[in-house]
Structure 1
Amino acid sequence: MFAPADPPRFGQFDGKPLIEALPEVLASDGYWSVAAATALTLVARGRIVPGVTAAGHDTWRVGPLDHADELHLRQLAAHDDYDRLRAFLDAVADTLPRTGTGPFAGTEACDVSALKAWADEQITISLRIETTDDLRFRGIVQVRAVTDPYPRDVRGSGRELDAIRAISRVDWPPLQRLLDSAELADGEVSELLATDIEVHWPRELTTGLSAKAVIGEPSGTFQASDLLAFDWRLALGGQELTQAEMDLVAEASRPVVKLRDQWVLVDPALKKKARQKLKPLTAAQAVTAALTGVAIIDGERAEVAPHGLTAAITTVPEFPQPAALQARLRDYQLHGLRWLAHMTSLGLGACLADDMGLGKTITLIALHLHRADPRPTLVVCPASLLGNWEREIRRFAPGTPVTRYHGPQRTLPSDGVVLTTYGTMRLDAEALRGHDWGMVVADEAQHVKNPHSGTAKALRSIPSGARVALSGTPVENSLSELWAVLDWTTPGLLGTHRAFRTRWPEPDDTLAKVVRPFLLRRRKTDPGVAPELPAKTETDRYVSLSVEQAALYEALTREILDQIAHSDGIARRGLVLKLLTGLKQICNHPSHYLGHDTLQGTSGKLDLLDELLDTIVAEDGSALIFTQYVGMARLLERHIEQPTRFLHGGTPVPQREQMVDDFQNGRAPVFLLSLKAAGTGLNLTRADHVIHFDRWWNPAVEDQATDRAYRIGQTRPVQVHKLVTEGTVEERIAALLQSKRDLADAVLHGGEAAFTELTDAELAELVQLRSAQ
């Protein structure tokens, strides 16, 4: 016979410790043998949970049990006593896992009374509701331990004290009273429906009443200028209520109402929704709600019923390319044209975010021809792209008037395509606002990623029937930049910036559902996209610091880290940026950091560059060299022996075009470019080598620079060389770049943590000089 103990593992069977008696029990015939086998099976299935005994000892118990387990135990206990059977099972469960030392592992009794509060939290309270003949309510408090298969009525369960402790953790005062008196007033039932307490309602009451927000139908074909109705609609078991039934719910004086020959529980929140009138939605708000199936109403997320808007936006009609286009669009370009035409025909904007070189320019030229709007199209782009846009339009749409609105004596025409720069647009915003535009296109739209900049504000102030953003990197660093681009193309789609950040602090499926119809992104590596594009290979080339570089690096690190340790706020952030900039300059060359006019001495990067250029030019190749520092580029221009062209932010447009022509026609095999000035818009397909002399903090910008050579029209494989100094901050940042590049690939992910916000210890870890591995 089994004699229980505290803790359970100290129990005895026929006067022997359980651990010694268990083999004999299993070998015997009869009730206790089956009980022991059952215990072993439960333990083997992992059906054991830790707990604290009444005396405060550590213990393991069997549980949680499912319905089949409980049925088996009840049938087995019919031959003895259920409580004694559970005590035996718990004793076996408390004995077998103990193979070590200490609480829950050793066999000795351990005092874990400090865990009693945690153990109490494993006890949950629920209510079983009964109704009288006149539909009055009675509530019976139930208690359930983690080891129980189902709740038990508190009365007679032996767990009254557990229940009282559990009730003290629940913020609903009537629970305490219900231990003695079961009657519930209607008001208490309404309160109960608004709590998180688990309630078991009687079968004669239906709890299937639900609510969804419903978007009204547009008066005709959907347009962005529409204002759509928005209302709550209640449903019972998935079937919508009639307006008369909605009125019954709204006017109900009790927490139950009879609908369709059944009594239905009415949550106070649902009753409020039956009465509530919602404000109409703008078209952009309706689109967001329809695409996500969710709306924010009074600060809370609400389910939105499916609406035809989703199909209206995502179903793109087919049509042939414009007859006036003097080129044959590839399949993916034709799809892009159809998508842009569909979105702009609805009065909605769009962002075409294809990889650089996939033909965004020709797609927009085709869109202008297809729309056949008598009003002109305004294209805003960086100065370096004006010539390319003009040449492409004259080539592919020779009958289309094209005007450069740039430089002195500029005038605005009344038709065709007007090209201007972001700088000119900002200066002439008033004149551009007063013109009637059929479409406004923002090329390299990352120029307006800061919505508070003068450039972005000027662009937003220009009215138009359609807005299209073009960018190879619509999300360079953060979701806020995605918001800035799409809020220009389709104002209100993502709400205000504050509302956007509140609703989507991190990307989720609902954000993807909103963005996907408005953002089209194809990659060069996508199957069937630009198959003639040659392969691109990228190689990180690690070099060592010279003795002079290492000495400068360590000296600067010690000096600035010491200053950082004694500063804070803006001053500290400035010192961090000063340190990072200085270290990168030292990694490039000592003369870069020291401000020399010419290169004096050498560096690992310079030695490797000389070797690469000698080999490349000897093989009749061409190279692009990118650096983010104009000062370093000037030093390299004076050093490189091969014919070289140097393009930077201050290079006039005519001179830029001549430089491109010199490189493309082989008159200069080396093209030196400052990263930010030349990272966008140039077509340099003669290059079969790209050298990143230093690494940019932003991989999206770096990828754009590489794409100057790696684009349609390239006939040779492109080799990308990324120069990295071993053991320095550059090596650590090289590892960070890959994680940040994953953001741009996913389109909708958060940016990297600002280096200026690193702790002193984290910063030291990032910048300290290490031995090359």
Structure 2
Amino acid sequence: GQLREAFQPGAAGLDPLLSAWEDGLASRDGKLKLDEEEQERLCGASNHWRETVAGKVAPARACLELFTPPEGEELWELKFGLQAEADPSLRVPAGLVWAAGDSNLALGEIQLEQPGALLLEGLGRALLAFEPLERGLDAATPEAMQLTPAEAFVLVRTAAARLRDVGVGVVLPASLSGGLASRLGLAITAELPEKSRGFTLGETLEWRWEFMIGGVTLNLKDLEKLSAKRSPLVQHKGAWIELRPLDLKNAEKFCSAEPPFSLDDALRITGNEGETLSRLPVHAFTAGPRLQAVLEQYHQQKAPDPLPAPPGFAGQLRPYQERGLGWLAFLHRFDQGACLADDMGLGKTIQLLAFLQHLKAEEELKRPVLLVAPTSVLTNWKREAAAFTPDLTVNEHYGPRRPSSPEALKKALKGVDLVLTTYGLLQRDSELLDKVDWQGVVIDEAQAIKNHAAKQSMAARDMGRPGKGPRFRIALTGTPVENRVSELWALMDFLNPKVLGDEPFFRQRYRMPIERYGDMSSLRDLKGRVGPFILRRLKTDKSIISDLPEKVELSEWVGLAPEQKKLYSKTVDESLDAIARSPLGQKHGQVLALLTKLKQICNHPALALKQDPADADASFFKEFAARSAKVQRLEEILEEVMEAGDRALLFTQFAEWGHLLKAHLEHKWRQEVPFLYGSTSKTERQAMVDRFQDDPRGPQLFLLSLKAGGVGLNLTRASHVFHIDRWWNPAVENQATDRAYRIGQQNRVMVHKFITSGSVEERIDRMIKEKSKLAEDIVGSGEDWLGGMDVSQLKELVTLSED
């Protein structure tokens, strides 16, 4: 059938079909893995295509239509005819075909040439797929034949598929043409019980059920009577249905141990076609009005109602933020974890604070909420809470004077609504914090728990485990997945552990098929499972936010200075020899070390040679720019930025490079260039941000390490962002860019990404772009994948181009 459709006039040909085979059937060696029955069907379809379709696509095909026996009779009638290829509902009986002789025959608006020959050729092919047909083809102009119940059963169960494969249409009675619906299954009607407040996914519903086959309902007594006839096709309530040997046994088992029916069951059944309950397929599901409203919202067919800013919220929510607040409140109603994954700068902090204020206004905030965040953003949380939710009492669990005993902590939390702490302290003080009866646990910059085996990730997941106390669990992140699908498992294991199962199951079902084989079917299934729990909006979507200025990304291509070229080539030659001789277990680390060293050389020889600016004299800074083409280009652009009075963020992944560049830039322009990196204290960090963001005479340039300064900061005073050396993960770079490109930005943001042409920087940049579509579909592009290259691949990657 797929082959025939692929070669209809105007169709796309083989490409879609081949893609389907590659997605679902092809193994790594490119060979199809088919069982014997599938091989036969494919061979038959291929032969039919070669014999008929390849030469000329016929406008009609032979068709067999099965009719149920009259009342009191056993024999089934099978009528012959022609069926339009383009519209199978158009059919003409064999009697009219034979009567037409050599004349044309009208089939709707189609004029069939030599219809008799067309029918005869089709019946000949049908005979190969359904042998009992031979008995009906004795006459010169056959129009119909009769089948025994056993022959009709074979036609329904197996022969119909084979006939369609060889290009013959088959029309079955309605109750016997439903595929899975022809199996014994269930028809369910359910409704939410009347309650005054919320309920959980495990809530038992009010429900009733009936057995169903082919759209016909029946009970256990009906099944027993029909099974006594010992016929595979039986009549019930005026319809013929298929009765399988195990149907009665399955029905008896279901009746003897009737399971409870929960909201979780209802959500699963309505979200996935062909779902089962106690191994019986659900053919029909009817939800009462209250349950239907929940199902529509939960499956995002209908968005939860937006909520306006609650009483006590000192500010105004944008429309999309009101929808975010409504979504958080909706999932909270069912005790389900929520990941607010809005793009950086869309106001996740404000939406979370509005949600907490909503709980307080509704008198539902009875116990403190724990919020875990990187150290760099604790001050920002305190300030935002004070500005937008002054009614919330906020406390920090941070610093050397923090409570160290359960008694002291209990005293400190008296009357507190929100407690702020860091990931490091969550791990260090886990036993102490675990003794508190938290109403909820929130993790900010939730990509911090992406490594499921890391201690801080395990501490966060354990703290938020359902049943331990927290009523709700919320994750805030602009990058729900950075590098690997496994990061999504770690996130969902914190929010809703049952959604993706345990880690070994997830690895086999999703991670390996998606990351290793690019299985798009598994990817779609994964996105469908996590979709209800993740809300993501993008700044580029004008329906979300239309007043954010433009962002322009520029690739700044630079070459290598003579010293850089010489050092680069020497490093490549020495490292490749060493890697080739190394044991297999050491190669991965050596490859990544080489890539790091080459990126440092592309920045500046002084970085690779570990030259300390503290020991430098005047000649060091005088020659500094001449030693690096990248620094020369950086100076040219910064000259324009500073003359225009603009401000800029400069990101690097190397702290040593930050110190070198800071010293050089301060020496050149004789003004302060703050550098925020991992060892910057919390107080210094906030002071740097305030001077840059708020002081009219503050520094124009702000150096930041990508890890320490790439999250949680609001630096909208900058209108230029420089990525001086590239982190080969687009999600991390975009996250850093969004320190400036966020709500509050009034100017166009220019993003400058430096790439050294002919070097490893250019080649990996190209490779990342080639992988970008998959990155958008959950699988990211981190740097570790580069470590698995063999020496020949590595040589091609790192060797300098002659041009």
Normalising by structure 1, we get a TM-score of 0.73
User: Structure 2 residue aligned with 1:466, among 468, 472, 475?
Assistant: 472
Change (3 A) 1:384 1:265: same
Asked if the contact 2:730–2:781 (Cα under 8 Å) also holds between the matched residues in 1, the reply is: no
Change (3 A) 1:595 1:196: farther
Q: 1:226 corresponds to which residue?
A: 202
Q: 1:334 corresponds to which residue?
A: 322
Q: 1:627 corresponds to which residue?
A: 652
Change (3 A) 1:78 1:294: closer
Q: 2:740 corresponds to which residue?
A: 709
Cα deviation 1:604-647 (Å, max 9, x = unaligned): 11111222222222222211110111121122122112411111
Quote the Cα distance in structure 2 between the aligned partners of 1:720 and 1:495: 40
Quote the Cα distance in structure 2 between the aligned partners of 1:299 and 1:473: 38
Q: 1:165 corresponds to which residue?
A: none
Asked if the contact 2:216–2:239 (Cα under 8 Å) also holds between the matched residues in 1, the reply is: no
Asked if the contact 1:384–1:681 (Cα under 8 Å) also holds between the matched residues in 2, the reply is: yes
Asked if the contact 1:256–1:266 (Cα under 8 Å) also holds between the matched residues in 2, the reply is: yes
Asked if the contact 2:447–2:477 (Cα under 8 Å) also holds between the matched residues in 1, the reply is: yes
Tell me, what secondary structure is at the counterpart of 1:592?
A: helix
Change (3 A) 1:585 1:287: farther
Q: 2:37 corresponds to which residue?
A: none
Q: 1:311 corresponds to which residue?
A: 296
Asked if the contact 2:371–2:421 (Cα under 8 Å) also holds between the matched residues in 1, the reply is: yes
Asked if the contact 2:482–2:780 (Cα under 8 Å) also holds between the matched residues in 1, the reply is: no
User: Structure 2 residue aligned with 1:602, among 619, 622, 627?
Assistant: 627
Q: 2:672 corresponds to which residue?
A: 643
Q: How much has 1:531 moved relative to structure 2? A: 3.3
User: Structure 2 residue aligned with 1:383, among 375, 385, 393?
Assistant: 375
1:557-568 equivalences under 5 Å are 557-566=572-581
Q: How much has 1:388 moved relative to structure 2? A: 0.2
Q: 2:533 corresponds to which residue?
A: 518
Larger CA deviation: 646-655 vs 186-195:
186-195
Q: 1:366 corresponds to which residue?
A: 354
Establish whether residue 656 from structure 1 lines up as the match of residue 698 from structure 2. Answer: no
Change (3 A) 1:281 1:582: farther
Q: 1:455 corresponds to which residue?
A: 456
User: Structure 1 residue aligned with 2:241, among 264, 267, 278?
Assistant: 264
1:17-36 equivalences under 5 Å are none
Q: 2:486 corresponds to which residue?
A: 480
Q: How much has 1:461 moved relative to structure 2? A: 1.9
The residue type equivalent to 1:310 in the other structure is L
Q: How much has 1:248 moved relative to structure 2? A: 5.3
Q: How much has 1:126 moved relative to structure 2? A: 5.8
Q: 1:344 corresponds to which residue?
A: 332
Quote the Cα distance in structure 2 between the aligned partners of 1:697 and 1:269: 57
The residue type equivalent to 1:618 in the other structure is E
Tell me, what secondary structure is at the counterpart of 1:140?
A: helix
Tell me, what secondary structure is at the counterpart of 2:315?
A: coil
User: Structure 2 residue aligned with 1:291, among 239, 261, 271?
Assistant: 271
Q: How much has 1:365 moved relative to structure 2? A: 0.8
Larger CA deviation: 362-371 vs 201-210:
201-210
User: Structure 2 residue aligned with 1:573, among 588, 598, 618?
Assistant: 588
Asked if the contact 1:285–1:493 (Cα under 8 Å) also holds between the matched residues in 2, the reply is: no
Quote the Cα distance in structure 1 between the aligned partners of 2:312 and 2:402: 28
1:62-101 equivalences under 5 Å are 66-67=60-61
Tell me, what secondary structure is at the counterpart of 1:492?
A: coil
Q: 1:105 corresponds to which residue?
A: none
Cα deviation 1:448-501 (Å, max 9, x = unaligned): 122222112211222410111111111212332223223322221233334445
Change (3 A) 1:74 1:287: same
1:373-452 equivalences under 5 Å are 373-411=365-403, 412=409, 413-414=413-414, 415-452=416-453
Tell me, what secondary structure is at the counterpart of 1:418?
A: strand
The residue type equivalent to 2:368 in the other structure is P
Larger CA deviation: 634-643 vs 436-445:
634-643
Larger CA deviation: 305-314 vs 349-358:
305-314
Quote the Cα distance in structure 2 between the aligned partners of 1:398 and 1:316: 27
Quote the Cα distance in structure 1 between the aligned partners of 2:593 and 2:339: 36
Asked if the contact 2:353–2:385 (Cα under 8 Å) also holds between the matched residues in 1, the reply is: yes
Q: 1:542 corresponds to which residue?
A: 557
Q: How much has 1:577 moved relative to structure 2? A: 1.4
Cα deviation 1:354-411 (Å, max 9, x = unaligned): 1111111111111101112121111110000100000111111122211011112323
Quote the Cα distance in structure 2 between the aligned partners of 1:711 and 1:187: 67
Q: How much has 1:245 moved relative to structure 2? A: 3.9
Establish whether residue 322 from structure 1 lines up as the match of residue 307 from structure 2. Answer: no
1:100-179 equivalences under 5 Å are 128=130, 140=132
Asked if the contact 1:233–1:274 (Cα under 8 Å) also holds between the matched residues in 2, the reply is: no
Cα deviation 1:313-368 (Å, max 9, x = unaligned): 24523443211011111111111111111111221111111111111111111110
User: Structure 2 residue aligned with 1:733, among 754, 761, 764?
Assistant: 764
Quote the Cα distance in structure 1 between the aligned partners of 2:535 and 2:251: 40
Cα deviation 1:29-72 (Å, max 9, x = unaligned): xxxxxxxxxxxxxxxxxx996479xxxxxx98667673369999
Tell me, what secondary structure is at the counterpart of 1:441?
A: strand
Establish whether residue 669 from structure 1 lines up as the match of residue 700 from structure 2. Answer: yes
Change (3 A) 1:460 1:298: same
Asked if the contact 1:445–1:485 (Cα under 8 Å) also holds between the matched residues in 2, the reply is: yes
Quote the Cα distance in structure 2 between the aligned partners of 1:204 and 1:603: 77
The residue type equivalent to 2:531 in the other structure is R
Tell me, what secondary structure is at the counterpart of 1:419?
A: strand
User: Structure 2 residue aligned with 1:584, among 574, 599, 610?
Assistant: 599
Quote the Cα distance in structure 1 between the aligned partners of 2:545 and 2:171: 62
Q: How much has 1:675 moved relative to structure 2? A: 0.4
Unaligned 5+ runs, structure 1:
1-46, 53-58, 80-84, 91-121, 129-138, 143-151, 158-181
Asked if the contact 2:560–2:756 (Cα under 8 Å) also holds between the matched residues in 1, the reply is: yes
Q: How much has 1:738 moved relative to structure 2? A: 3.5
Q: 2:638 corresponds to which residue?
A: 613
Larger CA deviation: 183-192 vs 353-362:
183-192
Change (3 A) 1:739 1:486: farther
Cα deviation 1:652-671 (Å, max 9, x = unaligned): 11111111112222422211
Establish whether residue 762 from structure 1 lines up as the match of residue 786 from structure 2. Answer: no
Quote the Cα distance in structure 1 between the aligned partners of 2:137 and 2:217: 39
Asked if the contact 2:185–2:283 (Cα under 8 Å) also holds between the matched residues in 1, the reply is: yes
Asked if the contact 2:676–2:709 (Cα under 8 Å) also holds between the matched residues in 1, the reply is: yes
Work out the number of aligned pairs and report it. Answer: 638
Establish whether residue 238 from structure 1 lines up as the match of residue 226 from structure 2. Answer: no
Establish whether residue 533 from structure 1 lines up as the match of residue 548 from structure 2. Answer: yes
The residue type equivalent to 1:292 in the other structure is N
Quote the Cα distance in structure 2 between the aligned partners of 1:61 and 1:691: 61
The residue type equivalent to 2:309 in the other structure is Q
Q: 1:692 corresponds to which residue?
A: 723
Asked if the contact 1:284–1:490 (Cα under 8 Å) also holds between the matched residues in 2, the reply is: no
Cα deviation 1:185-238 (Å, max 9, x = unaligned): 899969966997559798699455245567765545673352558999653443
Larger Rg: 1
